[in-house]
């Protein structure tokens, strides 16, 4: 199945793009999508414990189910004033 992955802030910089398409086998979870990305871009791994995730613009957990056509977003912590 195909999902759209959105990356923000530092994750976008590391991946070289803010939006990627991913093919994952069903059944899939957010973690499945993340592991696919981290295998390709190992520098992302350090953010796994601190980032937020969303599926179709709703905050979710790594164990949340992902379906064909879903959008999965990964958001690292952001600081600033």
- pLDDT for residue 71 is more than 60: yes
Is residue 35 within 8 A of residue 44, CB to CB? The reply is no
Q: How many whole angstroms separate alpha carbon 5 and alpha carbon 27?
A: 17
* Residue at 81 is within a domain: no
Q: How many domains does the chain have?
A: 1
* Predicted pLDDT of residue 37: 95
What is the domain extent for residue 47? 2-75
* Residue at 56 is within a domain: yes
- pLDDT for residue 81 is more than 70: no
What is the rounded average pLDDT for all residues in the chain?
95
* Residue at 20 is within a domain: yes
Is residue 23 within 8 A of residue 10, CB to CB? The reply is no
* Residue at 66 is within a domain: yes
pTM of the model: 0.92
Q: How many whole angstroms separate alpha carbon 24 and alpha carbon 36?
A: 8
Quick: pLDDT tens for 43-69.
999 999 999 999 999 999 999 999 999
* Residue at 41 is within a domain: yes
* Predicted pLDDT of residue 77: 86
Structure tokens at 43: 């520098």
List the CATH number of the domain containing 14. Answer: 3.10.20.30
């Amino acid at each position: 199945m195909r999902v759209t992955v959105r990356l923000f802030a530092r994750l976008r910089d590391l991946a070289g793009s803010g939006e990627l398409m991913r093919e994952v086998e069903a059944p899939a979870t957010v973690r499945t999508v993340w592991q696919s990305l981290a295998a390709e871009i190992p520098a992302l791994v350090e953010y796994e414990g601190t980032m937020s995730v969303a599926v179709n613009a709703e905050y979710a957990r790594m164990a949340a189910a992902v379906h064909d056509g879903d959008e999965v977003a990964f958001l690292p912590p952001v600081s600033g004033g």
